[in-house]
């Protein structure tokens, strides 16, 4: 059943934040009368405005700007909209070159503030409050009295290229947050403090999961041994789940000829996100940004019957996508990614069962990882984008979108609909999940492809003996290794369940006299499939325990003379519980059970 949810753009909170951005711009221009303004939209949890200023802003400037904003808000100034011609707009913003560039785009090409084509040529409008006028579509609150003085705060200063293009000038981006009540602001600031502790970039370094290196290149993570274990465990999980569901595992190269992506249609629609080609012996080759064209080749490598379908081809393949430097963010936005990819080829009569089988897989992962809040979003095409952003087949768009709705409705799975967010070849379900502290992540996708199989002449013989083109479902329930590990680091705050922890047991000797016994225990644990390490450093026991806690090791086995003489161990658990003088075999059985069940509890 499609949920009727209010669009963010239509909410009072959006209007408050949009209006607060204008108030902030007014305060900044009063401080820097010769400053140049660009754009200032609401974003998730707040707003920002980009400025071209004569000097860099400082934290002290933020305090002064925020103080002036409160004074402006007290004035209860109305926000007044006026539709103007392009010529009028140019006169109003004659000394604002960035606004003049935006006006030209609106007038001539129907371009948005980032230079992207709009669905239709928009009207040109301005909003004015107090002494400040901005080129703006709105919406805004009625007046500044609706922006509570105790419910907004300026947050940070960052660099940002004009229109997100590193070839353009670097601007100063001033971020703020605004809420409807003081308590909402307080809760958000508290959440931010917790999020700082859980930041996957911080934890990734502390727990020795991954690094980036300038000589390797931005957005290209290097996985350290602990990160390699996380990847192996996630891939093992995916293989276990997919083996039970009848998937077949394949491997494809990371390099392929240009012709393949021309045939699939990715080059016309996706070229800006692909790395430039390399030419060898007069032939252009691309590093692959996705696996699907090669999977299509594997499906089409021999004749298929309806009796063979569905065919589910799975691969944890490495893909490369060009993300702009300013958009890279830790593991969440990278240029090299290992994708939990699969393509399901099926007949139309099998579609609903296969599509919902993927949705059911999502739910199993939610339960395993303790994800309690999620939203499934049905991403649809837009008529205006046909032939440009989307394959130009309106009948199949309507048909496949209705097939997805029917499958979700029959499965009793709630979802929301969003127009103009589909893949170029068909509708999709995108899954938003929330971590343990309420941070939202885009993780999973389930896409319908009605167009590309036909481009590859993919066929199967149906029950009537005629050739039929299969539907293809693209799915990635575990996203990419990069994004999934980033999410799990923040979700668990680095306190992974035992099965996923890179180091499951740290064996700690009280003195050097027990080092050999400690190493023997670690060896027995490893022989039982438990990742264990004996700390034989010269540090005191308490320092060893502290180090294990910092690395968030689930189990610490402490051994001294008493344990060595009795052939036992003392157990300290990450949650603070302890159990002294237990047989090693008892602990091994306990740990193996937790690991085998992929239990969440210690």
Which domains occur in the chain, in start order?
8-181 (3.30.980.10), 206-491 (3.30.930.10), 505-597 (3.40.50.800)
Q: Which of the 8 DSSP states describes residue 329?
A: B
Cβ atoms < 10 Å from Cβ of 489: 26
Query: Among residues 498, 515, 599, 594, which one has the least CA distance to residue 553?
Result: 498
What token pair was written down for 324? 């702009």
pLDDT surpasses 60 at 112? no
Q: Which pLDDT score is estimated for 159?
A: 92
- pLDDT tens digits, 20-57: 999 999 999 999 999 999 999 999 899 999 999 999 99
User: CB of 376 within 8 A of CB of 444?
Assistant: no
User: CB of 359 within 8 A of CB of 405?
Assistant: no
Residues in contact with 212: Cβ distance below 8 Å, sequence separation at least 6, in sequence order: 218, 219, 220, 221, 222
What token pair was written down for 26? 């007014």
What token pair was written down for 91? 């006169």
User: CB of 367 within 8 A of CB of 422?
Assistant: no
Position 381 confidence tier, pLDDT thresholds 50, 70, 90: confident
What token pair was written down for 251? 């491997």
Alpha-carbon gap, residue 218 to 336, rounded angstroms:
10
What backbone torsions phi and psi does residue 257 show, to the nearest 5 degrees?
Answer: -70, 155
User: CB of 307 within 8 A of CB of 350?
Assistant: no
User: CB of 49 within 8 A of CB of 37?
Assistant: yes
- pLDDT tens digits, 146-178: 999 999 999 999 999 998 888 899 999 999 999
Alpha-carbon gap, residue 292 to 449, rounded angstroms:
10
What token pair was written down for 473? 């479902």
Residue with tokens 């139309």: 348
The predicted model scores a pTM of 0.83
* Out of 118-127, 281-290, 318-327, 445-454, least confident range: 118-127
Strand-pair partners of 339: 317, 480
Q: Which pLDDT score is estimated for 5?
A: 61
Total residues belonging to the chain: 602
Residue with tokens 């000829």: 257
Alpha-carbon gap, residue 74 to 77, rounded angstroms:
8
Mean pLDDT score, 197-220: 95
Cα-based distances in Å from 508 to 177, 252, 517: 47, 44, 10
Position with higher pLDDT, 389 vs 410: 410
Residues in contact with 437: Cβ distance below 8 Å, sequence separation at least 6, in sequence order: 191, 194, 195, 198, 490
User: CB of 86 within 8 A of CB of 52?
Assistant: no
Alpha-carbon gap, residue 497 to 504, rounded angstroms:
9
Strand-pair partners of 211: 222
Alpha-carbon gap, residue 224 to 229, rounded angstroms:
9
* Out of 268-272, 366-370, 396-400, least confident range: 268-272
Cα-based distances in Å from 504 to 342, 369, 555: 31, 18, 6
pLDDT surpasses 80 at 86? yes
Alpha-carbon gap, residue 9 to 139, rounded angstroms:
8
Residues in contact with 65: Cβ distance below 8 Å, sequence separation at least 6, in sequence order: 24, 27, 28, 31, 154, 174
Cβ atoms < 10 Å from Cβ of 555: 25
Residue with tokens 């809040």: 373
User: CB of 509 within 8 A of CB of 518?
Assistant: yes
pLDDT surpasses 60 at 359? yes
Alpha-carbon gap, residue 493 to 503, rounded angstroms:
16
Alpha-carbon gap, residue 369 to 363, rounded angstroms:
10
Type and span of the H or E element at 47 = strand 46-52
User: CB of 120 within 8 A of CB of 384?
Assistant: yes
Alpha-carbon gap, residue 516 to 570, rounded angstroms:
16
Q: Which pLDDT score is estimated for 524?
A: 96
CA atoms within 13 A on the CB side of 248: 13
Mean pLDDT score, 96-117: 76
Cβ atoms < 10 Å from Cβ of 344: 28
Q: Which pLDDT score is estimated for 115?
A: 52
Percentage above 70 pLDDT, the chain: 97
pLDDT surpasses 80 at 122? no
pLDDT surpasses 70 at 1? no
Alpha-carbon gap, residue 52 to 162, rounded angstroms:
9
Q: Which pLDDT score is estimated for 113?
A: 53
Position with higher pLDDT, 295 vs 536: 295
Q: Which pLDDT score is estimated for 469?
A: 95
Q: Which pLDDT score is estimated for 118?
A: 56
Helix/strand/coil (H, E, C) string of 370-410?
Answer: CCCCEEEEEECCCHHHECCCECCCHHHHHHHHHHHHHHHHH
Query: What three-state secondary structure class fits 579?
Result: strand
Residue with tokens 């967010």: 421
> Exposure string (b/e) for 535-544, b if CB count within 10 Å is 16 or more?
bbeeeeeeeb
Alpha-carbon gap, residue 493 to 411, rounded angstroms:
34
Position 119 confidence tier, pLDDT thresholds 50, 70, 90: low
Percentage above 90 pLDDT, the chain: 76
Q: Which pLDDT score is estimated for 6?
A: 66
User: CB of 111 within 8 A of CB of 118?
Assistant: yes
Strand-pair partners of 568: 583
Q: Which pLDDT score is estimated for 326?
A: 77
Average pLDDT over all residues of the chain: 92
Alpha-carbon gap, residue 121 to 270, rounded angstroms:
24
Cβ atoms < 10 Å from Cβ of 573: 14
Position 260 confidence tier, pLDDT thresholds 50, 70, 90: very high
pLDDT surpasses 60 at 279? yes
End-to-end CA distance of the chain: 38
Burial of 180 (0-12, 13-18, 19+ CB in 10 A): middle
User: CB of 347 within 8 A of CB of 470?
Assistant: yes
Helix/strand/coil (H, E, C) string of 401-435?
Answer: HHHHHHHHHHCCCCEEEECCCCECCECEEEEEEEC
């Amino acid at each position: 059943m499609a949920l009727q949810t209010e669009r963010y753009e239509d909410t009072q909170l959006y209007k408050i934040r949009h209006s607060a951005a204008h108030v902030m711009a007014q305060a900044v221009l009063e401080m820097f009368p010769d400053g140049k303004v660009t754009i200032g939209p609401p974003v998730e949890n707040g707003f920002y405005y980009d400025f071209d200023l004569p000097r860099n802003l400082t934290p002290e400037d933020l305090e002064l700007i925020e103080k002036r904003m409160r004074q402006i808000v007290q004035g209860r100034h109305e926000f007044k909209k006026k539709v103007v011609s392009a010529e009028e707009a140019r006169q109003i913003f004659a000394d604002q070159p960035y606004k003049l560039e935006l006006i030209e785009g609106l007038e001539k090409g129907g371009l948005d503030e980032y230079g992207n084509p709009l669905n239709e040529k928009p009207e040109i409008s301005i909003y004015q409050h107090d002494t400040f006028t901005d080129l703006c579509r709105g919406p805004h609150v009625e007046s500044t009295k609706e922006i509570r003085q105790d419910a907004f705060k300026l947050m940070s200063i960052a660099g940002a290229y004009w229109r997100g293009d590193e070839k353009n000038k670097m601007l100063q981006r001033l971020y703020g947050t605004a809420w409807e009540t003081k308590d909402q602001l307080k809760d958000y600031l508290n959440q931010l403090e917790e999020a700082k502790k859980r930041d996957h970039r911080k934890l990734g370094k502390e727990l020795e999961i991954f690094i980036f290196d300038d000589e390797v290149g931005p957005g290209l993570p290097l996985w350290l041994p602990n990160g390699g274990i996380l990847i192996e465990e996630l891939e093992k999980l995916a293989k276990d789940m997919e083996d039970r569901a009848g998937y077949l595992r394949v491997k494809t190269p990371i390099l392929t000829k240009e012709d393949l992506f021309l045939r699939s249609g990715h080059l016309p629609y996706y070229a800006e996100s692909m790395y430039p080609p390399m030419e060898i012996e007069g032939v252009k080759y691309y590093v692959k940004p996705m696996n699907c064209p090669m999977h299509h080749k594997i499906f089409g490598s021999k004749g298929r019957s309806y009796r063979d379908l569905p065919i589910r081809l799975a691969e944890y393949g490495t893909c490369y996508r060009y993300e702009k430097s300013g958009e890279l963010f830790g593991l969440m936005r990278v240029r090299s990614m290992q994708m939990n990819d699969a393509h399901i080829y099926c007949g139309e009569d099998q579609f609903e069962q296969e599509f919902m089988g993927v949705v059911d897989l999502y739910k199993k992962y939610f339960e395993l990882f303790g994800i309690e809040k999620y939203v499934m979003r049905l991403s649809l095409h837009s008529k205006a984008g046909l032939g440009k952003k989307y394959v130009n087949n309106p009948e199949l768009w309507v048909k496949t979108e209705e097939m997805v709705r029917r499958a979700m409705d029959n499965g009793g799975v709630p979802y929301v609909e969003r127009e103009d967010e589909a893949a170029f070849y068909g509708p999709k379900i995108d899954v938003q999940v929330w971590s343990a502290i309420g941070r939202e992540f885009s993780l999973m996708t389930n896409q319908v492809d009605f167009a590309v199989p036909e481009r590859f002449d993919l066929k199967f013989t149906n029950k009537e003996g005629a050739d039929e083109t299969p539907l293809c479902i693209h799915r990635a329930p575990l996203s990419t290794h990069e994004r999934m590990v980033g999410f799990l680091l923040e979700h668990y705050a680095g306190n992974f369940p035992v099965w996923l922890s890179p180091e499951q047991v740290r064996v700690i000797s009280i003195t050097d006299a027990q080092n050999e016994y400690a190493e023997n225990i670690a060896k027995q644990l490893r022989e039982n499939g438990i990742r264990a390490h004996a700390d034989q450093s010269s540090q005191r026991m308490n320092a060893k325990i502290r180090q294990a806690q910092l690395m968030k090791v689930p189990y610490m086995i402490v051994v001294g003379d008493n344990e060595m003489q009795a052939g036992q161990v003392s157990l300290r658990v990450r949650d603070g519980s302890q159990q002294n003088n237990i047989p090693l075999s008892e602990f091994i059985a306990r740990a193996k059970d937790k690991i085998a069940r992929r239990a969440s509890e210690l």
